[in-house]
A and B are shown apart, each in its own frame.
Chain A
């Protein structure tokens, strides 16, 4: 379970994240939505110990990221800010993380299989496409077989087949009882895979709800309902004269 408790972060005088609180439960996929600059990445970076909140705290199964015994075994993360040495092969990148985290070496081959990158593993990352890099980031996140996954726009750069594959993967993780928190701008994708929903705008949570609330009487999500709600929550009201 992920708990964000009244987390605030300002850059200069502007509050990028303003007393944000929400929970991402176990065994469920939580979609984290909001317009560009809403504060999603900033929130996730604080959750992952990459930057420190001015106030509040972010907990993973009750513990701050920096206090986790073995972070790679507890949390898998995919972030935009992750880069690779262009002259290093994908498999060497994974070996380095596995070594530093004290994980079994054979896990490297397993995660390469999961993200379908085995055939390109020996090639230098400098020659990877954006989608391949994204797969490598996912493979790295999975190295420790973590019960919690934090993904910032994980479908970035994936082709349509890749996106469908990722959706199945995410849904599968939740079924196994893992906690999945992921941000996305692709509402379709969120509609298909999320169980729980958090929307933020200008650094504040404007809605936390279950996806069931977007379902019709038959229990199916009404197509387009999410988009409608998103715009309602995030578009400034036009003044009528």
Chain B
């Protein structure tokens, strides 16, 4: 398994898509933080208050979607590029491939999330001091939000890799996720806010303590997202054992 995981990292490093998605994550996070600070100061919000910090920092997870896409590409991309044949010739036990990809996608999500958090801190400290505030780098609130953003990216990476293994078709998996996160979840939310809280997009917002909605606690959100990932992964493993490569 260790060799397999190392090989998956090598695959990631040798594709430009990885770096493009990382750049998109950093740019999105940076712009989102700038936007959040502008909106907050326009509405005369105290940037150092609890509400102000949550308003500014919860957008650190806005790049999470790119990690979801990368996760899908890590798994389903093998079918798109037809590299799956060589992969399964090396590792005929396909569950090992699925698990390795899940591990690699999740840990890459940690890296993407940490870089997003770094970007948010850099941009926010800069703008805070420009506006005469000091960014509360020592506050536990800030760190719980930033930690939540890292966790959100990791779990989105896991969800992406698991669905990519299950669906195999990269475009369908990505389009399906977009439709789910941006359309279907909003419709569910419209019908029942209570039910909507248990869905992936709302869960990732709960992880970064988005102040604009009534969401689940951070820890519950993390556990539910992990359960989703595990269920999809197990379905993928069971399906894979019964189909041809």
Contacts and interface: CB of A to CB of B under 8 A. Distances in A.
B89 A66 contact: no
A241 interface: no
A87 interface: yes
A174 interface: no
Contact of B14 (A45, A75, A82, A96): A96
A127 interface: no
B14 A92 contact: yes
A224 interface: no
A66 B7 contact: no
B244 A100 contact: no
Contact of A72 (B10, B17, B89): B89
Nearest to B6: A99
B90 A66 contact: no
Nearest to B79: A83
Nearest to A70: B90
Interface stretch (A49-57, A110-118, A154-162): A49-57
A82 B86 contact: yes
A48 B89 contact: yes
B220 interface: no
Given A87-B15, A89-B14, A101 B3 contact: yes
Nearest to A75: B89
A221 interface: no
Interface string B124-144: 000000000000000000000
Contacts of A140: 86
A49 B89 CA distance: 8
Interface string B71-104: 0000001000111011111111100000000000
Interface in A41-92: 45, 48-52, 65-66, 68, 71-72, 75, 77, 79, 81-89, 92
Nearest to A150: B89
A52 B88 CA distance: 13
A92 B10 contact: yes
B4 A100 contact: yes
A101 B86 CA distance: 11
B16 A71 contact: no
- Report the interface size class on chain A: 20 to 34
B11 interface: yes
A204 interface: no
A84 B81 contact: yes
B127 to A, nearest CB: 37
A100 B91 contact: yes
B213 interface: no
A42 to B, nearest CB: 10
Contacts of B85: 50, 79, 81-83
B14 A51 contact: no
A95 interface: yes
B245 to A, nearest CB: 4
Given A85-B81, A92-B14, A77 B3 contact: no
Contacts of B245: 45, 50-51
Contacts of B86: 82, 93, 97, 140
Nearest to A50: B245
Contacts of B90: 71-72, 97, 100-101
A58 to B, nearest CB: 12
Nearest to A82: B85
B82 A81 contact: yes
A48 B92 CA distance: 8
A96 B7 contact: yes
Contacts of A45: 244-245
A37 interface: no
Nearest to A86: B81
B198 to A, nearest CB: 37
Nearest to A9: B244
A177 interface: no
Among A65, A81, A83, A89: residue with most chain B CB under 10 A: A83
20 contacts: A45-B245, A48-B89, A50-B89, A51-B245, A52-B244, A71-B91, A72-B89, A72-B90, A82-B85, A83-B85, A84-B81, A85-B81, A87-B16, A87-B17, A95-B10, A96-B11, A97-B90, A99-B3, A100-B7, A102-B3
